[in-house]
């Protein structure tokens, strides 16, 4: 078989650290191929070569196609690929997570599993949504009540501002058009936020199902993260859209939400906020591939070691 030209698969130590790479790169309506150690991106305007090892996450939007050779390079240099809707407003599928370590996922599982730590994360989430409130001493029930009153106040304010009747969040997941205009707009906008949150969560190697405020659903953590931004992104857009006589309300809301997420840097904020919620401290050596053995006394012990009975590292 003829040898296919290209770079030799690099050692992990040779690859740039995540902190030294570009952040999420979004591409649409283009074809991706491989040119040596670069990803060749072609569209109607021309061709651009992007160093593969300089990318953290590649988000492929509508109209994009990618060759097997490009995916081979992407896999070798540790880039995460996520297939999304326009500007991330839908999440379809993903490849490997960005990190080779499970540190953030283990931290998420630890925080979810411990009642005291779980509540601490919930308090962080509520404090982020209502920064002027001191929630450090509130119980979970008090937090829910405080959130409910603040959200109702936001709805009342926007209802008055846009002269849109509001009687509550009422919708049928099985029938989108059964609800009124403002509830349709809220549903359309929230789905866009869910898509972006889902993409960020899987890219960072976390579990979409291990939520803190929401639990029991495969997307519980997605709902948790998206809720942090609804009051400033999707809720105002929904009331503004419902105040107009639009021929295609859902499409209008999706476009407005997409543009707002870009303008307000929601993707970058999600990454930063997720680390703030989960990580004790910034992970060091994130690109290093590390495998340990679990130990019930020392937590972890070195892998690739032949132990004898009674050995203590």
Residues 6+ apart with CB under 8 A from 33: 39, 40, 42, 66, 67, 69, 70
How much of the chain exceeds pLDDT 90, in percent?
A: 41
Q: How far is CA 207 from CA 62, 134, 247, in A?
A: 25, 29, 38
Is the pLDDT confidence value at 17 over 80?
Answer: no
pLDDT at 117: 93
Percent of the chain with pLDDT over 70: 79
- Parallel, antiparallel, or unpaired: how do β-strands 299-302 and 292-295 relate? antiparallel
Residue pair 108/222 in contact (Cβ under 8 Å)? The answer is no
Residue 214 annotated in ligand binding: yes
**Least confident piece of the model among 13-22, 102-111, 165-174, 187-196:** 13-22
Residue 10 has pLDDT above 60, yes or no: no
Give the DSSP H or E segment for 39. Answer: strand 38-43
Give φ, ψ of 206 to 5 degrees.
-90, 170
DSSP state letters, 255-274: HHHHHHHHHTTHHHHHHHHH
Q: Which residue has the higher pLDDT, 18 or 311?
A: 311
Check if the beta carbon of residue 232 is closer than 8 Å to that of residue 264. Answer: yes
Residue 5 has pLDDT above 80, yes or no: no
Q: What is the pTM of this model?
A: 0.68
Domains contained in the chain, CATH given: 12-84 (3.100.10.20), 103-278 (1.20.120.920)
Q: Angle, nearest 10°, between helix axes 140-162 and 234-242? A: 30
20 annotated to a ligand binding site = no
35-62, pLDDT tens digit by residue?
A: 888 899 999 989 999 887 777 788 888 9
- The pLDDT of residue 15 is above 50: no
- Greater model confidence, 94 or 10: 94
Assess contact for 215 and 118: CB atoms under 8 A: no
pLDDT over 80 (residue 295): no
Tens digits of residue pLDDT in 24-39: 788 899 999 998 888 9
Ligand-binding site membership of 11 (annotated): no
Task: Please state, in angstroms and rounded to a whole number, the distance separating the CA atoms of residues 136 and 64.
Answer: 46
């Amino acid at each position: 078989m003829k040898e296919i030209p290209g770079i030799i698969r690099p050692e992990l130590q040779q690859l740039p650290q995540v902190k030294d790479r570009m952040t999420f790169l979004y591409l649409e309506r283009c074809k991706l191929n491989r040119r040596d150690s670069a990803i060749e991106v072609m569209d109607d305007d021309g061709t651009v070569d992007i160093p593969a090892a300089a990318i953290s996450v590649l988000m492929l939007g509508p109209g994009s196609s990618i060759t097997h050779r490009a995916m081979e390079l992407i896999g070798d240099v540790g880039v995460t690929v996520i297939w999304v809707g326009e500007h991330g407003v839908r999440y379809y599928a993903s490849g490997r997570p960005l990190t080779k370590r499970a540190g953030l996922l283990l931290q998420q599982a630890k925080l979810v599993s411990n009642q005291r730590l779980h509540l601490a994360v919930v308090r962080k989430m509520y404090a982020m949504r209502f920064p002027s409130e001191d929630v450090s001493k509130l119980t979970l029930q008090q937090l829910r009540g405080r959130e409910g009153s603040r959200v109702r106040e936001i709805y009342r304010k926007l209802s008055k501002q846009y002269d849109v009747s509001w009687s509550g969040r009422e919708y049928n997941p099985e029938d989108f058009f059964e609800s009124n205009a403002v509830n349709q707009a809220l549903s359309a906008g929230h789905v866009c936020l869910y898509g972006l949150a889902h993409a960020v969560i899987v890219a960072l190697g976390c579990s979409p199902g291990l939520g803190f405020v929401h639990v029991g659903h495969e997307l519980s953590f997605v709902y948790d993260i998206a809720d942090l931004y609804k009051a400033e992104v999707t809720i105002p857009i929904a009331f503004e859209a419902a105040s107009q006589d639009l021929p295609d309300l859902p499409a209008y809301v999706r476009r407005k939400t997409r543009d707002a997420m870009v303008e307000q840097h929601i993707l970058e904020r999600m990454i930063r906020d997720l680390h703030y919620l989960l990580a004790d401290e910034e992970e060091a050596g994130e690109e290093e591939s590390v495998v340990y053995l679990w130990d019930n006394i020392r937590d972890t012990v070195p892998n690739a070691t032949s132990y004898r009975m009674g050995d203590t590292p």
